[in-house]
Structure 1
Amino acid sequence: MDDSSLKKALGHIRVLDLTRVLAGPWCAQNLADLGADVIKIERPGAGDDTRHWGPPYLKDAQGRDTSEAAYYLAANRGKRSVTLDIATPEGQDLVRRLARQSDVVLENYKVGQLKKYGLDYESLKQEKPDLIYCSITGFGQTGPYAQRAGYDFIIQGMGGFMSITGERDDLPGGGPQKAGVAISDLMTGMYSTIAVMAALAHRDRTGEGQYIDMALLDVQVSMLANMNTNYLASGNPPKRWGNAHPNIVPYQTFATSDGHIIVAVGNDGQYRRFVEAGGRPELAVDERFATNPMRVRHRATLVPLLADMVKTKTKQQWIDALEAAGVPCGPINNLDEVFENPQVQARGLRMDLPHPAGGMVKLVGSPMKMSATPPRYDLPPPMLGQHTEAVLREVLGESEERIAELKDKGIV
């Protein structure tokens, strides 16, 4: 192992990535950021579906649109793209050989679909017993819904998220609301990353590989956290509260004289300082509002009083006053404001990488900050099939003649 690999947490790991769209690619990108060699297998001529999910598209050095959709760019940096037709016997053989040279296989095909190609876990395990094989589907490998296709939007509804997200039904605009990003996909990618890392640690101790069965619905239900336990403790399904909190008051957005702020009061002392900053100290000693349980019970009376109080100052006046008083608060930023924020800039979340289509690709870096093996950004999101020849030569030892033959047959 060379010195550069030692500086990468997963520099000794190769991942064969048979996933597309978001959940699987998000997992694979995490592993790539941590130094794994990720080989992304794509359909010849088409590739990952998200390559075409635009506009917007990456622009070249002359400002012209390329073929690379911004959606695809979000989840595929650090990988090598190999085009390969797995529906053909020769393509299947190449995947099997690549799996033998890999530590991890990721896939998000429908349940049982890869078995007919001999690319399922049981088949590949025969050739590489210590293989870690992670399947990502909508509903998992078992249960009455296992054969259903899983889409993030549907999972957000089925898994309970939309029953607790959105404005209250009795208010204007009330009703179920999905998240602004595909949270069940992204969280499944994150949980899959954790599972793969745990399986690698187990393999390193015991030499044993294993199968990982990840499902969007499982993840969506699990990630409801305290809302789950609120229900299990009370027997009452939680309701939508919009930007308010079911257990804490005040913990919501308020309109100022020129915009909105978030006030996240976590204890009675913070509440007292909040109303004192607004010139309403009597609201802290009123027995209906003195403690959080009482404020929750009398929310309908208190919140309108607080709303009137907040409207008396500007957004920046409130933020300055509450920060000085030690009351958690913040603005509601659009993405222009996010990337102009000095804290976001100081943390290095924005980055540019040179791209083979010309110009630079603007990306958001990993939030993982590690002192010895920080994330590395050695490769931009690859062009379709950009690394096919290099991987076939370097990993499988194929000759130029054999690669040319595979191309002529449309296998790669």
Structure 2
Amino acid sequence: MAEQTAIEADRPRLRSASAEARLRRYLLVNAIAVWVSVVVLLVLRTVVGGESRTILWTVEVLVGAGVLLLTAVLLAGRARSGLAAGIVVVATWVVAVSITWFTPFIAPVGLLALLLPLVIVADHLPRRGRPLIVVATTLLSGTIVAVGSLRTPEYELTHPHSPIQAVVLALFVPLLVTVLVLGLRDYVLRLHERTRELEESRARLAQASVEARRAIERDLHDGAQQHLATLAVDVGRVTRLCETDPSRAREAVHALLPTVELAIRELRDLAHGIYPTALGEKGLPGALPAAARRTVLPCSVEARDAGRHAPAVEAAVYFCCLEAIQNADRHSSGSLIAVRVTDEDGPDGGLAFSVTDDGVGFEPASVLSGHGLTGMRDRIRAAGGELRVESAPGRGTAVLGHFPPGTRQPRR
């Protein structure tokens, strides 16, 4: 693809890729914090002396959590952010409850630890699982308070009061509060960024709407309107011939048929560009094959099993695919274009689509901004989806889009 679908050099390649990088960074920071906590506890155990099983049990729990966090970091690096987020949630629950059981005085740390997943990884959890995570975290917060209250008398009988307890709280509470503050700050910045992008996208869509109306006006004026104006003149001429020379009038009427057919064809093509009839009647499986037949390069479409979705979603996917197909056909210099539209699992699953080619590709960071990709991204985001483009020199280009659950409609 060429400049029309160039990725903006002054922006991140994809917001989803940026979110995954942010998740990996937070997971790594938390893994480092856990391992640092292990070292601190071992040092305190050495300072205190003796065989403190309480500290040793806490260290064992933190080591397990550290291993799980490192696993989550690896999964996030392989685009398995949902699974990584789930592992972090489970690891945090286990750590919060375990350290409260072994050391009841550290219950405030457990309560703060419970909040970390809701701040850091909530956006990466499956949409349906988020309410369950919130409810479970709320219940666990009460459980930790209860465990800390019940276990404190027994703990104090076997563990005489020591300044080490105050040192542990003084070390770990600020650490967790710092992580929470940074997470909340990052979340607020993401909201501001999202708001700014939506405002910019809305302005571009408004401008694109005006330009589209002007383009339709030009197409009508230069195409069908001209043919209809010519047809009106010819009809007047035929009307006069009917009075003077009926035989020539019949010949002139037959000569008008190609002009009428041309005007009808141009109006039909224009209407198809505005909103194809097949898209409203048959959805994406009916409209995309027709678009694929108009390419020079071979173009395959796999959308037979895709269901019906909200009209705005179907229109966004159709015109985005149409733009990607046209750009690949004109600029990829490849041998094949492949279009794929699939429904995600579940009765209310989301929608995913891709347009790929095996052409020359390009280096996104080295290409200037283009209206093609910006328009596709704005259209998909306005309908509630996400769009990303993957490309490299000599490795072709892939335009990938995704809509979350909630857009599917019953088959008609």
What is the TM-score normalised by the length of structure 1? 0.25
Task: Flag the structure with higher strand content.
Answer: 1
Max Rg structure? 2
What is the TM-score normalised by the length of structure 2? 0.25
